[in-house]
Amino acid sequence: MGTLAGCVVVVGSSHVDFTVQLDRMPRLGETVIGKGFKVAPGGKGANQAVAASRLGAKVFIVSRVGRDYWGGFLRENFVKNDVSVEYLVEDEEEQTGVALILVDSEGRNIIAVAPGADRKVSREDVDRAERVFREAGAVALQLEIPIETVIYAAEKAWRHGVRVVLTPAPVHPLPEKLLEKVTVLTPNRVEAEELTGVKIRDLKDAATAGTILVERGVDNVVITLGERGAFLVNAERSVHIPPFKVKAVDTTGAGDAFSGALAVALAEGKNVDDSVRFANVAAAISTTKLGAQEALPERGEVEEALKLLGF
């Protein structure tokens, strides 16, 4: 078991988000004039790393950026957010990854990603971080890097008795040898539907989808349902974790806020129910501000909200 309670290792993507705010999404072939433009650090791995750090964890990022302006931009951002860059590699052949994001007036988003150096995150990168894998309380993974690297990182964490949080996004077929090493899988509704073939219209459907994934080897499945909260399924039970109600401004990065917070809570030794509740609140707070990392909450914000809920 990891020896550093509250230590989180994130293996994943680091890229730059270019976001345009719109009144509405363009139709195919249509140009819509935007209301604002912003450049910000992003990537699911980077977002989860910063989320975990803001919530008080000691965080190590295992990732790659290009040897270019944007790579330096991302490195500086990690340092500013107290995320260790000891295992952040500058790739000499690939450019830093980018994401192009459109956000409408209702907070919905469409995202296209050019992965660049993200596609080069490797088993060797994971091996370089062996020391912190041994010490970690949790390892957070996503699917914006090669699936082979994700599987390898999950196996390494499992061998060291470290809890694994896997965000299956962008959605990708998941082999049993990966699922069997995952402590908590965190698909959203659409991802859960893709992974199971079950159309999720209500909580009963969520239970059915979650059960399918548990039967494939995952310890716990948490299907995130946006404003409806989250649904937890494991071999013992299925339970709905109600949402922390807020006025959403931008849902970009909410899933990463959830998974980063979940990893922190698990790394601190919280049980799965309390960890999901903690993550629910963190994700909800993140939707009340624009952007991905800029909107990630601090520990005090989440704890204050939990008190309001009676926890």
Looking at the annotation, which residues are catalytic?
A: 256
Contact 85, 75 (CB under 8 A): yes
Residues sharing a CB contact under 8 Å with residue 264, sequence separation 6 or more, in sequence order = 6, 8, 51, 52, 55, 56, 57, 138, 278
CA 100 to chain centre: 18
Rounded Cα distance, 290 and 285, in Å: 11
Rounded Cα distance, 203 and 308, in Å: 25
Rounded Cα distance, 213 and 254, in Å: 22
> Which residue is associated with the tokens 């989180």?
8
Residue 137 DSSP SS3: coil
Residue 261 DSSP SS3: helix
Rounded Cα distance, 266 and 164, in Å: 9
Give, in order, the Cα–Cα distances in Å from 88 to each of 15, 64, 73, 110, 299: 12, 6, 13, 28, 25
